[in-house]
Amino acid sequence: MKKIKVIAFDADDTLWVNEPIFTKTQKEFKTLLEPYLTGDEIDTKLYNAEIRNLRLFGYGVKGFMLSMIETAIELTQGKITGSEIQRIIDLGKEMIEHPIEVLPNVEETIKLLQDQYELMVITKGDLFDQESKIARSGLGIYFSKVEIVSEKNEQSYLNIIRKNNIIADEFIMIGNSLKSDILPVCKIGAHAVHIPFHVTWAHELVETHQIEGVAYQELADISLLPELLNQFLIV
């Protein structure tokens, strides 16, 4: 019988609030462009710009800010003013400096687990921004390792467990994204727990057929994790 030895946590929208900050900023961005146009075209164009720019800027606030500027220039046919572009830059700065809101029951749960398991954070995005959020959250003291990657896929998880001499059967990933935190982890023979968040970026959504037959656990709240792990023995 093997018991889980290493628990890795996603950061954004698993340990602290993230996506609602992007949603709020996007609403302000749409308000800024109202003198030029209205409707859902702004949302569609911005999303397309974000996806198109991922290979250049990666995930995070800085890439989002640059995609907003690009979208604004495109949709206004270059008529957007310098002061309006400055406002978009200011929105990005406000996002980066936004206070960290640790989600309910997170710290209490991690405290319960720290003496029994090795705890890690595996997150993707801008290195500087993610390091800053971990430091400002006050949670960094509970984790022995922090891995910040450009993408969460099977290869990145394999690289992490090999580098840290972790056995897949003894590793479990906790996160809110089926696409990034659950599917690739299960595919490499490790384990995963999905804790849904009420807002999910469209790029992180998966089709039903993609998760059919995938063995993972789902919890309504992170506070239920210790009880689940106490029963989590693998034959």
CATH of the domain at 49: 1.10.150.240
The residue from 67, 96, 125 where one domain ends is 96
Question: What is d(CA 67, CA 49) in angstroms, rounded to the nearest whole number?
Answer: 6
Q: Domain check: are 131 and 46 in the same one?
A: no
Is residue 36 within 8 Å of residue 76, measured between CB atoms? Answer: yes
Q: Domain check: are 50 and 152 in the same one?
A: no
The amino acid present at 14, given as its one-letter code, is T
pLDDT tens digits in sequence order for the chain, 235 residues long? 468 999 999 999 999 999 999 999 999 999 999 999 877 789 999 999 999 999 999 899 999 999 999 999 999 999 999 999 999 999 999 999 999 999 999 999 999 999 999 999 999 988 999 999 999 999 999 999 999 999 999 999 999 999 999 999 999 999 999 999 999 999 999 999 999 998 887 777 777 667 777 889 999 999 999 999 987 654 4
Q: Domain check: are 86 and 124 in the same one?
A: no
Q: Domain check: are 222 and 121 in the same one?
A: yes
The residue from 96, 115, 145 where one domain ends is 96
Closest CA to 134 of 16, 36, 46: 16
Q: Domain check: are 185 and 200 in the same one?
A: yes
Question: What is d(CA 147, CA 164) in angstroms, rounded to the nearest whole number?
Answer: 11
Question: What is d(CA 152, CA 215) in angstroms, rounded to the nearest whole number?
Answer: 18
Q: What is the pTM of this model?
A: 0.90
Q: Determine the structural domain holding residue 47 and report its residue range.
A: 19-96
Q: Domain check: are 7 and 30 in the same one?
A: no
Q: Domain check: are 59 and 107 in the same one?
A: no
Q: At what angle do helices 61-75 and 82-96 cross, to 10 degrees?
A: 160
Q: Domain check: are 210 and 194 in the same one?
A: yes
What does the pLDDT read at residue 105?
Answer: 98
Q: Domain check: are 76 and 146 in the same one?
A: no
